[in-house]
Structure 1
Amino acid sequence: MLFPWVGQLEQVRLADIYVHYTDVQFSKGSFVNRVQIKTASGPCWMTVPLADLRFGQRIDQVRASDKRPWRDEHLALLADAYADAPHLDAMLDMVRGVYARDYAHLGALTTASLLALCRYFGLDRHCRFVDIGELGVSGTGSARVLEIVRSLGGTTYVTGHGGANYLDHAAFDRSGIEVEYMDYAKVPYPQLHGEFTSFVSALDLVANVGSRGGEYMRPRTISWKDFPTHD
């Protein structure tokens, strides 16, 4: 995800190892190249335009388009939306730092945005980040995810809610690996522009709370056996 929401940072906080899974198919309309921010006129999408997108491309094959100055547009949008936020400068400095580099593909950009947030909140101190390309694990779908966890010596796999659509929970059980779904806390914090919402980029947390934002991350999980939509 591009500068992901607090829920994904909670997932990182729980993890001993976090795998950047960028060699899978890009899904148009997903959060890979876009994220919502909160503005005075309501939620607004902050989107990275894509160059020559073709159906079936993997995330690590999709490239950002530079036909328009989207980096400057994003910074201007953020500066306006968070003009009254106490930690505006820290948030903008983070985004400038990420956008100062060129990236070979969209996956590298989104990885950099996640890592910037993790470093800011100190989540990188106890979590090791691994790129899927380092593991050499083949296959697809649930079987591949299981093999990734096994290759890293994992005993618990923590996933977002989308995993309920394809994970073979029984296969994980047979391998002695627990599957835990995130039970997102969505703890309210001081926020501009009306009623609180958690479904915005964690840049919102940076701008409004600063480095104390970690106090509002209270990760918890629920076993797949108790998850409402399990098979």
Structure 2
Amino acid sequence: MTTVVISQPMYFPWVGFMAQMALADVYIWLDDAAYSKGSFTNRVQVKTPKGRGWLTLPVKVNGVSTEIRGLKLAKTVQTSQRDTLKGMLKDAPCVADALSAFDAAWAEPGTLCDTIIASTMEQARAIGIDCPAPLRSSAMAMPSKGSKRVLDLVLVVGGTRYVTGHGAAGYLDHEAFEAAGIAVEYMDYDVPAWPQYHGDFTPYVSALDMIAHIAPDDRMSYIRPATLAWRRFLEQRT
């Protein structure tokens, strides 16, 4: 099988997303999707001494719809966010690795979208995920929309298996994928706990947290990619 994973860009995403990335033979960033306020495109949870907080990129939005690739920063936040990470992870044994991944993402020249994509790729490198060079939907000239567009993207890269997150359950035309010979599977998230500061463990924070606490040779043991066939997944949700 050729496994395809497609996702909108996300800023330093959680470990569950990194497990999804680890399954990909072909990875496509959906960078020409419309930006949605409140999404994880430009923000991610972190744990602070005061409880859970967010690393948020304040963005400028032009009109009612702005493609993710067209986002711009409303103000500079790199220094303040680095200081936040350094402060909340200061006692973690591998905090230097987390800060190095943060710095490398911001060192990439280009657009804000480039930086967001780089944030995930730098996490992948720090964890040891052998991710293929990602493609971008904006360069693939695929005019269809919704579920049909996802199917077209999978087909054009020769995919035979599509692995997706839970949010796709509400719009994906599973039967159309099957008719095209594409197996659809949903992530079955299995995130083991690692040592964390500031309260009870939560997996729903940036993977930078895991990188800071776990030695490089052990990080892949926290990436446990598992999936469910779409019918079984939907049955479990009912």
| TM tier, smaller | over 0.9
Partner amino acid, structure 2, of 1:87: C
Partner of residue 187 from structure 2, selected from 179, 182, 195: 182
| Secondary structure class of the residue paired with 2:184 | strand
**1:36 aligned residue:** 45
Q: Can you give the 5+ residue segments of structure 2 that lack an aligned partner in the other structure?
A: 1-9
Q: Deviations over 1:173-219 (max 9, x none)?
A: 10010110001102111222221100000000111114221111111
Partner amino acid, structure 1, of 2:115: L
Partner of residue 97 from structure 1, selected from 104, 109, 112: 104
Partner amino acid, structure 2, of 1:43: R
**2:24 aligned residue:** 15
The two structures have a TM-score, normalised by structure 2, of 0.90
1:138 aligns with 2:147: no
**1:114 aligned residue:** 120
Shift of 1:50: 1.0
**Residue 190 of structure 2 contacts residue 226 of structure 2 at CA under 8 Å; is this kept in 1?**
yes
1:48 aligns with 2:53: no
**Residue 12 of structure 1 contacts residue 127 of structure 1 at CA under 8 Å; is this kept in 2?**
no
Counterparts of 1:62-73 in structure 2 under 5 Å? 62-66=71-75, 69-73=76-80
**Residue 108 of structure 2 contacts residue 114 of structure 2 at CA under 8 Å; is this kept in 1?**
no
Q: CA–CA distance in 2 between the matches of 1:6 and 1:182?
A: 12
**Residue 45 of structure 2 contacts residue 204 of structure 2 at CA under 8 Å; is this kept in 1?**
yes
State the Cα RMSD in Å: 1.6
**Residue 50 of structure 1 contacts residue 62 of structure 1 at CA under 8 Å; is this kept in 2?**
yes
Stretch deviating more after TM superposition (92-101 or 171-180): 92-101
Q: Deviations over 1:102-154 (max 9, x none)?
A: 432x322211111111122221x353421213322221100000000000111
| Secondary structure class of the residue paired with 2:44 | strand
| Secondary structure class of the residue paired with 2:53 | strand
Stretch deviating more after TM superposition (54-63 or 163-172): 54-63
**2:219 aligned residue:** 213
Q: CA–CA distance in 2 between the matches of 1:53 and 1:213?
A: 40
Q: CA–CA distance in 2 between the matches of 1:128 and 1:14?
A: 13
1:88 aligns with 2:100: no
Partner amino acid, structure 2, of 1:183: D
- Total equivalences in the alignment: 227
Q: CA–CA distance in 2 between the matches of 1:9 and 1:48?
A: 20
Q: CA–CA distance in 2 between the matches of 1:4 and 1:23?
A: 19
**Residue 13 of structure 1 contacts residue 127 of structure 1 at CA under 8 Å; is this kept in 2?**
no
**Residue 21 of structure 2 contacts residue 131 of structure 2 at CA under 8 Å; is this kept in 1?**
no
Q: Deviations over 1:44-87 (max 9, x none)?
A: 11101112443211111111123xx3101101110111111111
Identity %: 38
Shift of 1:95: 0.8
**Residue 48 of structure 1 contacts residue 64 of structure 1 at CA under 8 Å; is this kept in 2?**
yes
Q: CA–CA distance in 2 between the matches of 1:64 and 1:126?
A: 27
Partner amino acid, structure 2, of 1:51: K
Q: Can you give the 5+ residue segments of structure 1 that lack an aligned partner in the other structure?
A: none
1:76 aligns with 2:83: yes
